[in-house]
C-alpha cells in the first residue's frame, strides 16, 4: 500500500479501519508504520474520503 501525502488530510479514518494496526497519524499525515502487517484488504482505502491510499501490492 502507499499513501499520497499530498492528498492525505489526516482524518484518521484509515487508522480506525485497520484491525492490523498498520497505520498511524503523525503530524496530520497517515503513515504505514507497520507495513509488514498489511494484508492488502483495502479497508483503509475504502474509508479514505481523500482517496489518498492506494493498494499497490500485498
Ligand atoms: S490494506 Fe487492510 S491491512 Fe493493509 S493497511 Fe489497509 S486496512 Fe490495514
Q: What is the pTM of this model?
A: 0.91
Full residue range of the structural domain in which residue 28 is found? 2-54
Tell me the three state secondary structure of residue 50.
coil
Q: How far is the CA of 9 from the centre of ligand 1 (A)?
A: 18
Q: Contact 17/47 with Cβ under 8 angstroms?
A: yes
- Counting ligand 1 atoms within 8 A of each CB, the residue from 35, 39, 42 with the most, and so the one to mutate, is 39
Under the phi-then-psi rule, with left for phi > 0, alpha for psi from -120 to 50, and beta for the rest, what region is 3? beta
Mean pLDDT to the nearest integer, 21-36: 97
Contact by Cβ (8 Å): 55, 40: yes
* Average of per-residue pLDDT across 20-41: 96
Calculate mean pLDDT across residues 23-43.
Answer: 96
As for how many domains the chain has, the answer is 1
pLDDT of residue 58: 53
The pLDDT confidence band at residue 19, using thresholds 50, 70 and 90, is very high
The closest-lying atom of ligand 1 relative to the alpha carbon of residue 21 is 8
Q: What are 1's three cell numbers? A: 500500500
Q: What is the pLDDT of residue 57?
A: 64
42 lines ligand 1 (CB under 6 A): yes
Nearest CA to ligand 1 atom 6: 44
Rounded (5°) CA angle 5-33-55: 60
Tell me the CATH number at 42: 3.30.70.20
Q: Does 22 contact ligand 1 (Cβ within 6 A)?
A: yes
**Across all residues in the chain, what is the average pLDDT?**
95
Amino acid at each position: 500500500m502507499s499513501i499520497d501525502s499530498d492528498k492525505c488530510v489526516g482524518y484518521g479514518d484509515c487508522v480506525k479501519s485497520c484491525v492490523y494496526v498498520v497505520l498511524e497519524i503523525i503530524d496530520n499525515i497517515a503513515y504505514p508504520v507497520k507495513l509488514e502487517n498489511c494484508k492488502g484488504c483495502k479497508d483503509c482505502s475504502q474509508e479514505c474520503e481523500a482517496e489518498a491510499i492506494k493498494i499497490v501490492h500485498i
